[in-house]
Chains A and B, each alone.
Chain A
Amino acid sequence: MTKLLVNEKDVVVPGELLVEGMDYLPGFGTYREGDNIYSGRLGLVTLDGRTIKLLKLSGRYSPKRNDTIICKVVDVNFSGWRLETNSPYSAMLSMKDATSEFIARGADLTQYYKIGDNIICKITNVTSQKLIDVTMKGPGLRKLMGGRIVPINTNKVPRVIGKQGSMVSMIKQATNARIMVGQNGLVWIQGDIPAMELLAVRTIQKIEDEAHVSGLTDRIKEFLEKETGTTLGGTSNVVQETN
């Protein structure tokens, strides 16, 4: 008789016995040993039909192709730029992917991006040795001027963005701040009024803390309305955007 020993949304620790018996499939973060399924990390139980998997609660960013990430330029050489990605691996932006303009050979690359610049770019390739290639060609990809970069828990990024960008749009609407969320756990925020920029930062930290409690969207809406003294439009009015 298969016995499921945990419930949806339970926090489980490495080595914890989750299922006795063969009727469940071990999904992400779990493993089978003999007839049992054990937890392979600290995580939140999610049941997907007959598959038991874990949602990550912590852990650093692991670069993936097609992710949009925020990086900092750390080196400029003759063929491109090297970028810090908030992971153990740096990324290369080569001349040909830097901009839609044509860059002549031998041109001074620091005119485009110099050391210390923050940019938002897209990962085009990750090798087995974790060498990362990125491109700046694409909608919304650009140098980020001004503002601040706030690191957040990588695993909370989807909650900060929200379904079809609804959460981050709500924060932008309430604070009038410009916000870009990188899949690598870095968020760029620029507000015209310091108090509003700070409110955006605090709201994002609140989402991080309460990510897995139900009713998050409503609570954040209430929080923003209270802090700004205004009423926010319904999320159905939000224009579809990815970031």
Chain B
Amino acid sequence: MDDGLRSHVLELLSKGVRLDGRKPLDYRQPIKVETGLYSTACASAKVSIGDTEVVVGIKFEVGTPYPDNPDQGTIIVGAELVPMSNPEFELGPPSIDAIELARVVDRGIRESKAIDFKKLCITKGEKVWMVAIDIIPFNDAGNLFDAAALAALAALKTAKLPSYADGTIDYKSSRKEKLVLNHEPISVTVLKIGNSFVVDPLIEEQKVLDARLTVASLKDGTLCALQKGGDSPLGSEEILQMVDIALDKAKELRGAL
């Protein structure tokens, strides 16, 4: 860990401010959400929070259902940390960070029961829709978790099922049928650095964190997914405080959609 950077970040936090002048619980502005950018995707969204830009593209595929859920479709979330977005990303198979990002976004959507998987059934026991959600950062200036989750949700909200006949998917002509979302989970990541909690971390803050907690929640405040990261353990008091912060900030992100 970069001790000089950490002590400077802590010094600023003790005075209530961060490296870019923000208050600890402020998100960078503006938070921008654009949808429908890429015509080849079934649905797409680009979220920018400050300088961080993340794109999510959705492709519908047809596959066989899992044997224990013969009448349910599914989602597959992938994340590719492309080297163009961050000089420290390397080419090669998905790193553990890419895997964690994909799985955390997946849990937020899956566990919230946002999608009614039964509506994705084509022929019970034989064919179901699989929603492939691919996360690609375009510029990593920190906080990929929240930007990716927001982009995934924004893309899902605009997704329309393609038509499927005689074993082939016709991507060009989409049915008018929208993918129905029953819930809209929002992810907020809270960091603990020293004795302070911050949200929407910069790259530098991610490098000196003690711990982080990503909280996915629904509009009514129900928690649907949690992920703790970082090397330091957290007390239960702290966890509850971080959850409270996440629930509060989720409103702002929800408003950006």
Q: Do chains A and B touch in the complex (CB under 8 A)?
A: yes
Residues on A lying within 8 angstroms of B by beta carbon are 116-118, 146-148, 194-195, 198
B166 at the interface (CB under 8 A from A): no
11 contacts between A and B (CB under 8 A): A116-B2, A116-B4, A146-B7, A146-B8, A146-B11, A148-B5, A148-B8, A194-B21, A195-B17, A198-B20, A198-B21
Minimum distance in angstroms from B14 CB to a CB of chain A? 10
Residue of A whose beta carbon sits closest to that of B14: A194
Size class of the contact patch on chain B: 10 to 19
CA distance A98 to B4 in the complex (A): 20
Residues of chain A with a CB closer than 8 A to B3's CB: 116
Interface of A is mostly: mixed
B256 at the interface (CB under 8 A from A): no
Contact B15 A117 (CB under 8 A): no
Minimum distance in angstroms from A142 CB to a CB of chain B? 14
Residue of A116, A117, A118, A194 near B12 (CB, 8 A) is A194
Minimum distance in angstroms from A79 CB to a CB of chain B? 24
Nearest 9 interchain pairs by C-beta: A194-B17, A198-B21, A194-B15, A116-B3, A148-B8, A194-B12, A116-B2, A116-B4, A118-B4
Task: Given A146-B11, A194-B12, A194-B15, decide whether A117 and B21 contact each other with a Cβ distance below 8 A.
Answer: no
CA distance A194 to B2 in the complex (A): 20
Residues of chain B with a CB closer than 8 A to A147's CB: 8
Residue of A whose beta carbon sits closest to that of B6: A116
Contact A195 B8 (CB under 8 A): no
B19 at the interface (CB under 8 A from A): yes
Contact A117 B4 (CB under 8 A): yes
CA distance A198 to B19 in the complex (A): 8
Contacts A116-B2, A194-B21, A195-B21 known; list 9 others, CB within 8 Å. A116-B4, A117-B4, A118-B4, A146-B7, A146-B8, A146-B11, A148-B8, A198-B17, A198-B21
Residues of chain A with a CB closer than 8 A to B2's CB: 116
Minimum distance in angstroms from B257 CB to a CB of chain A? 31
Minimum distance in angstroms from A22 CB to a CB of chain B? 43
Residue of A whose beta carbon sits closest to that of B8: A148
Minimum distance in angstroms from A235 CB to a CB of chain B? 27
Encoded as 1 (CB less than 8 Å from any A CB) or 0, chain B from 18 to 46 comes to: 01110000000000000000000000000
Residues of chain A with a CB closer than 8 A to B11's CB: 146
CA distance A147 to B12 in the complex (A): 10
Minimum distance in angstroms from B81 CB to a CB of chain A? 22
CA distance A147 to B5 in the complex (A): 8
Residues of chain B with a CB closer than 8 A to A194's CB: 12, 15, 17, 21
Residue of A whose beta carbon sits closest to that of B204: A148
Minimum distance in angstroms from B208 CB to a CB of chain A? 11
Residue of B4, B17, B19, B20 near A146 (CB, 8 A) is B4
Contact B19 A148 (CB under 8 A): yes
Residues of chain B with a CB closer than 8 A to A148's CB: 5, 8, 19
Minimum distance in angstroms from B51 CB to a CB of chain A? 13
CA distance A148 to B11 in the complex (A): 11
